[in-house]
Amino acid sequence: MMAEDLATVFPAIKILRHEPLAHYTHTKTGGPADYLAFPTNIQETKSLLAYANQEQLPVTVIGNASNLIVKDGGIRGLVMILTKMDQITADATHHTVTAAAGAALIKATQVAQANALSGFEWAAGIPGSVGGAVFMNAGAYGGEISDVATSVEVLTPQGEIRTLSLAEMDFGYRHSSVQDYHDIVLAATFTLTPGEKPAIQAQMDELNARRAAKQPLELPSCGSVFKRPTGHYTGQLIQEAGLQGLKWGGAQVSTKHAGFIVNIDHATATDYLDLIHHIQAVIWEKNQVHLETEVRIIGEDPQA
């Protein structure tokens, strides 16, 4: 059976053909997916993966696409966006919040606050999905996913559902075992501590105010572009190199926070990548510091 018939094979699942991923990324850039599917539950995700394996279609999984650059050539094979899998439950007795991969991380922190559970305040303004946050071991303001995640449910590339312990997740700085084994995050359970709702909310509000004051939230961006190099601050290195405000095509090093690149005028993913490479080259020349990208870069280069 031809992969053309994907929507026929799965009539209950929303599947789009040649869909521009610029419609879904926070940068508003990115080429087309051959097939873009929106599974609504674990069984649909499992079925799509099994079919793709049978047809030898490459599979790419995307969450909220907030810390992601999709190249202008797009992505071959099957892309799954899991944001329709967004259930979140709280267990006040065991002080846990369990969230499906497609749930907004911000929403998970709000559920924690509503159940008087503390420890998730640092994530109150992170725009990613739970799955993406687990994949990246997302962090901010001194906290990260590995501080609170106690188990993660994944779908392996072979189609097996497994529950991984904190140790098995092998969390590191912006790293998890999911990246190494190409698992698909299905859900995660976070263990928190009892607190007071007003105090939790106050901390969330304070951190969100700090974020809004420092970060260019009013413009499309891919979030923090570079990992923090040992002994340095990325934004400071870029500022001192005279690169803040530099425009490349429609992309610009943010004038509000030099660690961000914003889309100011119909930027392409190629604009973003060219600007990233230029920044890396300049910072290496001036400081002998290699700026490693934190943003995930996927897809194919455009055809010449």
Residue 132, sorted as left (phi over 0), alpha (psi -120 to 50) or beta, turns out to be alpha
Distance, CA of 76 to CA of 65 (rounded, Å)? 17
Q: Give Dmax (Cα) for the chain.
A: 58
C-alpha to C-alpha distance for 25 and 198, rounded to whole angstroms: 34
The encoded tokens of residue 221 equal: 């961006």
Contact assessment for residue 171 and residue 146, using Cβ atoms and an 8 Å cutoff: yes
Question: Is residue 65 left, alpha or beta, with left meaning phi > 0 and alpha meaning psi from -120 to 50?
Answer: left
Residue 257: name the closest of 232, 238, 270 by CA.
238
Rg of the chain in Å (alpha carbons): 20
Which residues form the catalytic set? 174, 224, 294
